[in-house]
Copies of this chain bind each other. A is one copy, B any other.
């Protein structure tokens, strides 16, 4: 069994007796993503499994002793702190049990009362996030942004050798739906002699994927690239909101700080490595002349299966569009294979100095962009640093986000011969500055 092994749970012929799961964009029975939810009528939070437009209460299932017995206690927790850390083989056993229960019509009378309509549930963060690290593996983003600052030299010399990353703020990560207050910050308008302290005028989104760390490593003990996948518990979508004017003024020499840490939004569902197994792809070969990764980042299996066959898209809905009943405007769409480094390389690099990853850490990929405009992953790229306003379907224009704007990120993992799956939504609306 490998992290890319396909088994009967991926069989496209499998259908759940939960009718809404059949053909569901995100949550057919081939997905079985985990999340933490609450309901108005009962206290506390519980772990649930997404199935169609329903959430299956994992705690109730555990209480009924319908899952592998060694996981009963962990599945009854109020958060996924412990569930994230279980070994892949246990997660796989749980997946098989869930798949069987949700496909076997005979189980329906027992299981159906444990299902809740997703509209009646509130989704929370899967766990308290330990440390949050954001990488920069979207090479086209690095190129597009770098070109604005260093036209002759967009990519710095280290980029193709080091999976560049930095530490972000864990406390301000929120699940989809929580509004974002426009941050106030220090910034220096180009024409001004001195900085001002004012609401950001260049509020942007960044299209990313998130990686949940499952089992950790001890401080001082690196994770070999061949073991990296064993430390990954799942994936989500991530919007790394950014105040570009604050960023431009503050980021030297230690990197982005207040321009990024006021809020980050994630999709609340943890899509497991097992669910994504059919959508694993070979890492695209490096362009001629690029250096090969150093040995601690090299693994043939990772090269053969480490990329993610996931198509990402971003939609914008403005206040005026909502009022007029217009559909969201698609800002961009592009594949996650536009990553120069794989998630396994991110993990192995992060721990290569002995830094201890811990269960519930979150890694961001960094903005996933594309060489061509339709795949640009931020307004900074789409509007060329604010110089070229976009015209929306509503006739409005945008360089950066305005109050009332709502950004939604969605994604689909698809492969020939398999039922495609999604991640749920990563969505939030901008509130005016306080």
Contact = CB atoms under 8 A, between A and B. Distances in A.
Q: Can you tell how many copies of this chain the complex includes?
A: 2
B353 A255 contact: no
Interface residues of A, number: 65
Interface stretch (A18-26, A354-362, A421-429): A354-362
Contact of A167 (B158, B166, B251, B296): B166
A166 B255 contact: yes
A164 B195 CA distance: 14
Contacts of A251: 253, 255
A250 B162 contact: yes
Contacts of A170: 130-131, 170
B195 A257 contact: no
Interface string A405-420: 0000000000000000
A361 B160 CA distance: 34
A136 B254 contact: yes
A416 to B, nearest CB: 37
B249 A171 contact: no
Interface stretch (A51-59, A182-190, A316-324): A182-190
B254 A166 contact: yes
26 contacts: A131-B169, A131-B170, A136-B254, A156-B253, A158-B250, A161-B194, A162-B250, A164-B250, A164-B253, A165-B257, A166-B254, A166-B255, A167-B167, A170-B170, A171-B358, A171-B361, A184-B353, A185-B353, A220-B262, A222-B434, A254-B255, A258-B349, A258-B350, A258-B353, A262-B353, A354-B434
Interface of A: 130-131, 133, 136, 146, 156, 158, 161-162, 164-172, 174, 181, 183-186, 188, 194-197, 219-222, 243, 246, 249-259, 261-263, 291, 294-296, 349-350, 352-358, 361, 431, 434
